[in-house]
């Protein structure tokens, strides 16, 4: 099917999708079951908590939907119940590149103990920045977000809520089902207190088209920060407590050496009065890069976080046949011989890599986190806290709870050679968490998965944070830095 790069009404898109029956439904479900049964590290924990994806997939296979959209909806629902953003089902074209959207973005803030949802950016004259949303098709926003949370892959309530806000009006159809309604009636209150109702239709467009036309709209204010580098941006911030360095890390998805080299050079220009590291929206990356970054902020020796495989026929095959996994062979075979579910934990980052560079910044450091801080950034936050490098200031009670190393289906097929893992020509593509990590030092053995990192200081976002460049949050960070001197 040809891709449609121009926006179309949601109803038109769904009509085209329903015109064709699902291809290879039985094979798709067989593949998902095999991947989860053999590779998914968190399967025993999910089953112990009452979520058995193997049973759910078997039930779906017994009553296989004939409608393509419905089959994919059921499949996405099963993976959403896992509560694991490292493990997901990504739908094929044309869903892969398509986004269902309304022409505005929202953000949340707290005021007098109450939670509010407001328009953060708008590409329509009908909504203005600062409008507070009251209802959505007659339902209170709390109810709407509650329904939206059911489709999020967060491992706990805070993470699911944060993703629900993030995807409320921009929904990637590769990972989420289409909206149930074609038209949305929004009741909102302006900054001046005027109440009105705005109606708009869901549309579907290619992600590249949206990125081109809504670049600044989607990226927000961080895109314009001076000192922008690949993966991070740097500047100085003024607070009532003084002037401090500020580095926002957007992604760890880069080779470690170039990233660490640029980061080290930027640290030389940061004021010695204190540094704010912001990883609130960093959701992906390479584990070794995050762990190697820790050494730049402390003279202490870094102990990398150890990871565990689940013992299955597949993991035994891999550690015996893949040279890069040979170091795990003894641990996995010993666990299998002893009848244990998991191998002993071994680090992905070597001791020499984690400690190969000297400290580059000797001032006080505060780390900013949120419920969207995930994966490598979350492992950095755990190491930052476990090595007592500085203080963690969070806008949520904990980070996203994603402590694992995921592999795409293509990697599992390449390493194992198993036909069951071969990507289907026009089928969904799967990614699976294959190793889970544990924390070190005072929290040694604690799992990062599901638990996340609890901040030392909690600061729920305010209206000034949402609309005035994190003004109150930076004041809190400045106060914490001053107290650390």
3-class DSSP assignment, residue 296: helix
Report the C-alpha gap between 421 and 460 in whole angstroms: 43
pLDDT of residue 217: 57
* Range of weakest confidence among 177-181, 202-206, 217-221: 217-221
Q: Is the pLDDT of residue 51 over 70?
A: yes
Q: Is the pLDDT of residue 13 over 50?
A: yes
Q: Is the pLDDT of residue 53 over 90?
A: yes
pLDDT of residue 413: 98
Domains of the chain: which residue ranges? 1-22+65-210, 221-484
CATH of domain 1-22+65-210: 2.30.42.10
Report percent pLDDT > 70 for the chain.
Answer: 95
- Predicted TM-score of the model (pTM): 0.94
Q: Is the pLDDT of residue 416 over 80?
A: yes
Peptide bond into 160 cis (omega under 30): no
pLDDT digits (tens, 9 = 90+) for 109-151: 999 999 999 999 999 999 999 999 999 999 999 999 999 999 9
pLDDT of residue 67: 83
187 φ/ψ angles, rounded to the nearest 5 degrees: -95, 125
pLDDT of residue 220: 41
**pLDDT band at 19; cut points 50, 70, 90:** low
Q: What is the CA radius of gyration of the chain?
A: 23
**pLDDT band at 218; cut points 50, 70, 90:** low
3-class DSSP assignment, residue 381: helix
pLDDT of residue 18: 75
Q: Is the pLDDT of residue 465 over 70?
A: yes
Report the C-alpha gap between 8 and 46 in whole angstroms: 39
Q: Is the pLDDT of residue 335 over 50?
A: yes
pLDDT of residue 224: 35
Mean residue pLDDT across the chain: 93
pLDDT of residue 221: 34
β partners of residue 232:
229, 249
* Range of weakest confidence among 12-26, 93-107, 262-276: 12-26
Q: Is the pLDDT of residue 5 over 90?
A: no
pLDDT digits (tens, 9 = 90+) for 269-291: 999 999 999 999 999 899 999 99
Q: Which CATH class is domain 221-484?
A: alpha beta
pLDDT of residue 352: 97
**pLDDT band at 2; cut points 50, 70, 90:** very low
Among 162, 21, 195, 171, which residue's Cα sits nearest to residue 102? 171
pLDDT of residue 209: 87
Report the C-alpha gap between 61 and 78 in whole angstroms: 12
Q: How far is CA 116 from CA 74, 97, 136, 347, in A?
A: 31, 31, 14, 42
Over residues 195-211, mean pLDDT? 93
**pLDDT band at 20; cut points 50, 70, 90:** low
pLDDT of residue 222: 36
What is the helix (H) or strand (E) element at residue 243, kind and residue range?
strand 242-249
pLDDT of residue 227: 44
Report the C-alpha gap between 403 and 437 in whole angstroms: 6
Report the C-alpha gap between 148 and 106 in whole angstroms: 14
Q: Is the pLDDT of residue 373 over 90?
A: yes
* Range of weakest confidence among 60-74, 76-90, 188-202: 60-74
pLDDT of residue 226: 40
């Amino acid at each position: 099917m040809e891709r449609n790069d121009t926006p179309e009404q949601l109803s038109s898109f769904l009509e085209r999708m329903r015109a064709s029956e699902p291809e290879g439904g039985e094979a798709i479900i067989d593949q998902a079951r095999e991947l989860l049964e053999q590779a998914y590290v968190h399967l025993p924990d999910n089953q112990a908590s009452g979520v058995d994806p193997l049973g759910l997939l078997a039930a779906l296979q017994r009553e296989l939907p004939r409608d393509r959209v419905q089959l994919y909806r059921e499949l996405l629902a099963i993976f959403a119940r896992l509560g694991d953003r490292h493990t997901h089902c990504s739908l094929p074209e044309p869903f892969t590149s398509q986004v269902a959207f309304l022409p505005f973005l929202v953000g949340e803030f707290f005021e007098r103990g109450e939670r509010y949802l407001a328009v953060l950016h708008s590409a329509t004259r009908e909504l203005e920045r600062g409008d507070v949303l009251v209802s959505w098709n007659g339902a209170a926003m709390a109810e709407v977000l509650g329904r939206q949370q059911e489709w999020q892959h967060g491992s706990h309530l805070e993470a699911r809520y944060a993703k629900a806000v993030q995807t409320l009006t921009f929904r990637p159809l590769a990972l989420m089902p289409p909206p149930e309604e074609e038209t949305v009636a929004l009741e909102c209150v302006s900054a001046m207190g005027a109440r009105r109702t705005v109606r708009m239709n869901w549309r579907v467009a290619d992600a590249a088209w949206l990125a081109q036309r809504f670049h600044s709209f989607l990226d927000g204010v961080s895109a314009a920060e001076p000192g922008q580098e690949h993966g991070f941006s740097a500047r100085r911030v003024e607070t009532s407590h003084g002037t401090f360095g500020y580095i926002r890390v957007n992604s760890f998805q880069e080779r470690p050496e170039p990233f660490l080299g640029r980061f080290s050079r930027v640290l030389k220009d940061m004021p010695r009065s204190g540094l704010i590291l912001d990883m609130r929206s960093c959701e992906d990356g390479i584990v070794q890069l995050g762990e190697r970054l820790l050494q730049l902020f402390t003279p202490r020796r870094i102990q990398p976080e150890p990871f565990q495989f689940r013992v299955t026929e597949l993991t035994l095959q891999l550690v015996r046949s893949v040279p890069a996994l040979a170091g795990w062979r003894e641990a996995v075979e010993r666990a299998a011989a002893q009848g244990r579910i998991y191998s002993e934990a071994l680090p992905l980052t070597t001791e020499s890599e984690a400690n190969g560079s000297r400290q580059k910044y000797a001032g006080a450091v505060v780390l900013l986190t949120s419920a969207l801080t995930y994966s490598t950034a979350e492992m950095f936050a755990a190491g930052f806290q476990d090595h007592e490098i500085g203080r963690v200031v969070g806008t949520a009670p904990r980070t996203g709870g994603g402590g694992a190393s995921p592999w795409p289906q293509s990697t599992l097929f390449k390493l194992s050679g198993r036909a069951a893992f071969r990507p289907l020509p026009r089928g969904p593509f799967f990614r699976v968490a294959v190793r889970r990590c544990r924390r070190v030092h005072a929290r040694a053995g604690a799992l990062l998965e599901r638990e996340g990192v609890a901040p030392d200081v909690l600061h729920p976002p305010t209206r000034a944070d949402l609309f005035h460049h994190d003004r109150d949050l930076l004041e809190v960070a400045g106060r914490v830095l001053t107290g650390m001197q």
